[in-house]
Structure 1
């Protein structure tokens, strides 16, 4: 009675050609193919970043559209010009008040 390793179940499993084809195909698809699993993970991360950018820009577009809608009102145009460009009427004076922590001090010694 010979106790050959060919009679063992693990040898039958390993010597099966379908198992070898499956292992080769799996290895190829996971690591070596142009559309491998790792490439898909990188692409999925890029898609998520682009979707986040899309959401950010859509929100900014909504804010800008609201600003444009507001600026159709003459009173809002005047308010915007006074706040952003420090425009004034001829009979007015504008005083800008800067607090100590508001500005960055420049080093003059350089």
Structure 2
């Protein structure tokens, strides 16, 4: 017990302890901020991967559309429900069952 009291009276220990407490809780870059920054970085990395995948898909579709006229017609019919003058388009939407 006496050794513990001597430790708390040591000015170097008190200074180091105050520094650690300040850096962990009160500084602009404290532990909570670092955790929030880390979670935001991981979220942004996930978004980046998603958008890179979408970009690659769009580039692939663009390449197919510019190289093949039949693919362009198929794309227009599927995505934008375009039709020829003598055709009718029926869109079937499946309802999801409510739980």
**TM-score of the superposition, structure 1-length normalised?**
0.73
Structure 2 residue ranges without an equivalent (≥5): none
Q: Assess, with a 3 A threshold, how the Cα gap between structure 1 residues 95 and 46 changes in structure 2: closer, same or farther.
A: closer
- Please say if 1:75 is aligned against 2:70: yes
Question: Once the two structures are superposed, what CA deviation does each residue of 1:24-79 show, in whole Å capped at 9, x if it has no partner?
Answer: 00110000001111111111111111111111100000010011011011110121
Q: Select which of 16, 27, 33 maps to 1:22.
A: 16
SS at match of 1:42: helix
**TM-score of the superposition, structure 2-length normalised?**
0.80
Structure 1 residue ranges without an equivalent (≥5): 104-110
Alignment of 1:4-19 (within 5 A): 8-19=2-13
Q: How many residues align?
A: 94
Structure 1 residue 93 displacement after superposition: 3.0
More helix by share: 2
